[in-house]
Structure 1
Amino acid sequence: MAETTTKETNLRQANAKATAVGVVSEKDLKIVTEDGKNKVTGHITVKTSDVNFVKYNVNVNEKTKAGTDNKTYAGIQTVMNEYKSIAEVGEEEATKVRVTGDISPFTDKQSGEKKVAYKSNFFNRLKSDEDYEPHAEFAVEVFISGINPELDADGVETGRIVVSGWMPTYNGIEPIDLVAEGEVGQAVDSGFEVGQTVEFYGDIINNRIETVTEIPVKIGKPRRKVKVDYKSDLIITGASEPYEEGITPEVPYVADTIQAAIQERANRLEEAKAKAQSGAKASTAKPSGAAHGRSLGF
């Protein structure tokens, strides 16, 4: 049997943290049972300013893989039963929280746009005597694949710089875009190159966009259909030195390994597409990966 080489197994999962301090805006959690096992699923939205809302997805099993009680499950039950949202009691009485979570980049299947989701199972109530400084911040390791000017819908440069990259995750590898503005944008443009591994950090700007559509009816008032979307930007405010093997504590990602993981991702997506078209189920096996301007060919 021929030996198979899988470079993807060398990819470590990237650090990708999303922290927030704010007030609980919405809370939608419920206990569900799957295959005889209970878990809490849903989301909590944290308001950090009048226009900034960060939605954290929640998914906590009652039992660990070993069958013992999951301590995190008890904590989430406390969140369900005791934490109050603005939607429930108004902003003055809503629970102020500190959240430690993760960034999950993904590609929207319909639009093809690169997006990010946030997830966390760890919510801590702020005590009444704690300083309350609302904010939402990120820190993420990225293999840089492109540094280019941002263009608007008409193809005109906005003045911002887009850092495109690849982020190895628990489920494989995903593309992610970060944005730099002003002097930081100039520093990023001149200070980094494609192919480098860098930890960027900055602010999560996640605006809640509510679209209301009126549906005509024959009798009575028109019905209102409300659609809520979140427009997310990860705004760079700082960055580490580029990782260098033997120099920085963190080891950089290798371009060949990243490219192999990208190809594995493409193969997996093609397989899923083909099976969806044929009506068969896609494989559930996890992958092994964890104009001006410059861009790599992958």
Structure 2
Amino acid sequence: MAENKTVLREASNVVTLEGTLAEVRHTEWKNGNGLNIELDIEVAPNEVHTVKGFSKYKKADGTDNAIAKGYQTIISDYKSIAEHGRDQADKVRITQGKIGLNEYYSQGILKAYPQLTTNFVNRLDANEEFNPKAEFDVELFVKNVTEEKVKGEETGRVNLNGYIPLYGGKVIPFTFVVTKEGSQYVENNYEKGSTVNVFGKIINYKEQKVTTKTAAFGEDKKEITSITKREYLVTGGNDPYDEDSKNAFNPEIIKKALTERETYLEGLKNESSNENNKKSGFGGSAPNNKPSKPVEISDDDLPF
């Protein structure tokens, strides 16, 4: 049978990035115990990926945290395009990044966006080979496969929808898009409830095009068009794991993790609502202190 442990194992979840350091941003924690960092990494013209990280300055035993020290080195020593210009900017490489989600509630609506994180960033030496790229290699518990449509028209590609188990027994929903060449295989072989390993490219392309509308009199009019393309493109994958494999995710454990996720999201929503109530001041609605109802997930929402 599939893995019978009661704790959901963390999926293999590896992001590899290599590019030119475009910008570094950081903020100290309010309590002074750690910091957050954001790196913009350019892998191609008009294609920049943002990677985030956070760390306490000290470990539980009081010793220095190597992750925080690494972030501080980036902030103080690494050269970015924004600060030093393109010619002097450092080339950097990330080999153990991860895919995650940035989730929050805004006016009662859940917002969720893919997010890349990392603990370590390496600066390339001048004599090292430089190969700009943004790639992923991830295990996924399949929910379903659906046709990709743009403005109601099928593109020939498919969306691979599923869940990525994270550290600590958590899961996040995630959607990949599969190339036309691989779509038929995925449709025929990646059944709901199966565990698969896929790999491919992370695309975050943004370009502005300026066109000129010629005037019969007076000045010509410039029109600016923004072209944006963000997707996690599956270029290859392996056969689904055998259901008896110890590496296949147990559907019952996934179901439990999804229930816990809904409870977490309910708490996140209440927390957001309470924050909004505090900001509303006099006349605002009172916080809801009633205990929340147990979260129930219908069978239609489950990937099995």
Q: TM-score, normalised by structure 2?
A: 0.76
Q: From the CA coordinates, give the structure whose radius of gyration is larger.
A: 2
In 1, the alpha carbon distance for the partners of 2:105 and 2:57 equals: 31
Name the CA distance, whole Å, in 1 between partners of 2:56 and 2:137: 27
Q: Tell me how far 1:238 sits from its aligned partner.
A: 1.3
Structure 2 counterpart of 1:122: 120
Identity of aligned residues (%): 30
Shift in alpha-carbon separation, 1:91–1:123, aligned structure 2, 3 A: same
SS at match of 2:254: helix
Tell me if structure 1 keeps the 8 A contact 2:101–2:112: yes
1:150 is aligned to: 148
Q: Which residue of 2 aligns with 1:3?
A: none
1:196-255 CA-to-partner distances (Å, cap 9, x unmatched) read 101111111022478xxxxxxxxxxxxxxxxx99853111111122122555xx511122
Residue 16 of structure 1 corresponds to: 13
Report how far residue 161 of structure 1 moved. Answer: 0.7
Stretches of structure 2 that go unaligned for 5 or more consecutive residues are 209-225, 278-286, 290-299
Runs of 4+ in 1 over 6 A off after TM superposition: none
Secondary structure, in 3 states, of the residue corresponding to 2:44? coil
Q: Secondary structure at the match of 1:94?
A: coil
CA contact (8 A) 1:204 1:234 kept: yes
- Per the normalisation by structure 1, the TM-score is 0.77
Distance in 2 separating the partners of 1:185 and 1:83: 41
Asked if 1:102 corresponds to 2:98, the answer is yes
Tell me which residue corresponds to 1:58. Answer: 53
* Correspondence 1:118-197 to 2 at 5 A: 118-152=116-150, 154-170=151-167, 172-197=170-195
Kept in 1: contact 2:105–2:269 (CA 8 A): no
Contact 2:105 2:268 survives alignment (8 Å): no
2:37 alignment counterpart: 42
Select the residue among 59, 62, 79 that pairs with 1:84: 79
Root-mean-square deviation (CA, aligned residues, Å) is 3.0
Counterpart in the other structure of 1:29: 26
| Cα gap change, 1:150 to 1:113, in 2 (>3 Å) | farther
